[in-house]
């Protein structure tokens, strides 16, 4: 892969102009000059032109600031694979979290726009395969029926093969040939008719304790998300009332109370780390700064503004 380097807001905006991607950086300062220099990630991004109209992008980044994107480009087929970390992907109709070993397949056009959200504080390794109409015809030999966007799990053998390819030391034409073969395997799986996509909910066969812990960990790791009790209950394979009762017995509070505490703790960390009140509110899951200020004062006895000022 290419050499590891720092990627700033300005770099991402350059990628956006090249690939027709709109980026958003919640933690960026309002001043354009300062925002352009803000480091977003550290790592490597490699683009491989496999054949005419077929492109593979390998990305290995330490994400230091959260960012979101909307792809406005066109592709007859796009397959995004998460090798490590997590990212929220989807279209206007629906979004979901993808973690290591999962992939997302869709067609990109003016009616179907891919949105993505990458949280900070993680190593995120992804692989993206994009083909235009000509490449699809060349690789598949026939027109393929339209498919709805779908998330799917990679077979273990394919995950291992992609991981080996990801870490290979080949360069030049041998590297391109290697990834052409891997791309064909990925294409075959990505176009296969869905049998039954793995649900995002925790498997009911897991013990209640493990299902509760999965919910708690979700709230712990992503408090900025818009969590609803019904969705949490579905993830735990329980009714909402059962989830509240068991969660309270295990952790001493309801899931929503746990989420509120986690959001405030995240906000406090952000304020002490140099973020503004508006940034801390947004990055910890509050839509309105006024609600955040009230909740923060109630929890800590001081306003978030005074805490932010105390670090100076």
Residue 279, pLDDT score: 79
Range of the domain at 79: 5-191
Residue 145, pLDDT score: 64
- Of 130, 165, 191, which one is at a domain's C-terminal end? 191
**Inside any domain, residue 196:** no
Residue 221, pLDDT score: 80
Among all chains, which residue has been given the structure tokens 């909910």?
201
pLDDT by residue (tens digit) across 118-165? 999 899 999 999 999 999 988 887 666 667 888 888 888 888 889 888
Question: Could you tell me the pTM of the whole model?
Answer: 0.64
**Inside any domain, residue 54:** yes
Q: Which residues of the chain have pLDDT under 50?
A: 196-203
CATH number, residue 277: 1.10.10.60
Same domain membership, residue 122 and residue 41:
yes
Same domain membership, residue 184 and residue 52:
yes
Residue 49, pLDDT score: 95
pLDDT by residue (tens digit) across 176-203? 999 999 999 999 998 876 654 334 444 4
Same domain membership, residue 165 and residue 21:
yes
How many structural domains does the chain have?
Answer: 2
**Inside any domain, residue 203:** no
3-class DSSP string for the chain: CCCCEEEEHHHHHHHHHHHCEEEECCCCCCCHHHHHHCEEEEEEEEEEEEECCEEEEEEEEEECCCEEEEECCCEEEEEEEEEECEEEEECCCCEEEEECCEEEEEEEECCECEEEEECCCEEEEEEEEEECHHHHHHHHCCCCCCCCCEEEECCHHHHHHHHHHHCCCCCHHHHHHHHHHHHHHHHHHHHCCCCCCCCCCCCCCCCHHHHHHHHHHHHHHCCCCCCCHHHHHHHHCCCHHHHHHHHHHHHCCCHHHHHHHHHHHHHHHHHHCCCCHHHHHHHCCCCCHHHHHHHHHHHHCCCHHHHHHHCC
How much of the chain, in percent, has pLDDT values that exceed 90?
A: 47
């Amino acid at each position: 892969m290419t050499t590891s380097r720092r990627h700033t807001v300005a770099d991402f905006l350059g990628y956006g102009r090249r690939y027709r991607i709109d980026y958003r950086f919640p933690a960026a300062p309002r001043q354009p000059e300062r925002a352009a220099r803000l480091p977003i990630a550290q790592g490597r991004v490699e683009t491989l032109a496999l054949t005419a109209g077929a492109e593979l992008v390998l990305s290995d980044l330490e994400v230091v600031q959260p960012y979101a994107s909307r792809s406005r480009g066109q592709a007859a087929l796009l397959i995004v694979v998460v090798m490590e970390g997590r990212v929220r992907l989807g279209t206007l109709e629906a979004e979901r979290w993808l973690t290591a070993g999962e992939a997302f397949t869709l067609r990109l056009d003016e009616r179907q726009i891919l949105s993505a959200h990458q949280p900070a504080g993680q190593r995120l390794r992804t692989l993206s395969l994009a083909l235009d109409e000509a490449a699809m015809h060349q690789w598949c030999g026939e027109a393929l029926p339209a498919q709805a966007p779908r998330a799917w799990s990679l077979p273990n053998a394919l995950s291992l093969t992609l991981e080996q390819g990801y870490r290979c030391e080949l360069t030049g034409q041998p590297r391109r040939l290697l990834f052409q073969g891997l791309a064909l395997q990925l294409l075959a799986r990505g176009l296969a008719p869905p049998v039954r996509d793995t649900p995002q909910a925790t498997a009911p066969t897991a013990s209640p304790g493990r299902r509760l812990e999965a919910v708690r960990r979700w709230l712990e790791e992503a408090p900025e998300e818009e969590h609803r009790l019904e969705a949490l209950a579905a993830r735990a394979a329980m009714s909402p009332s059962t989830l509240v009762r068991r969660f309270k017995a295990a952790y001493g509070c309801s899931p929503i109370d746990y989420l509120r505490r986690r959001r405030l703790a995240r906000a406090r960390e952000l304020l002490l780390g140099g973020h503004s009140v508006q940034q801390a509110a947004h990055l910890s899951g509050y839509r309105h700064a006024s609600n955040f200020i009230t909740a923060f004062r109630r929890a800590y006895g001081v306003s978030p503004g005074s805490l932010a000022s105390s670090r100076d």
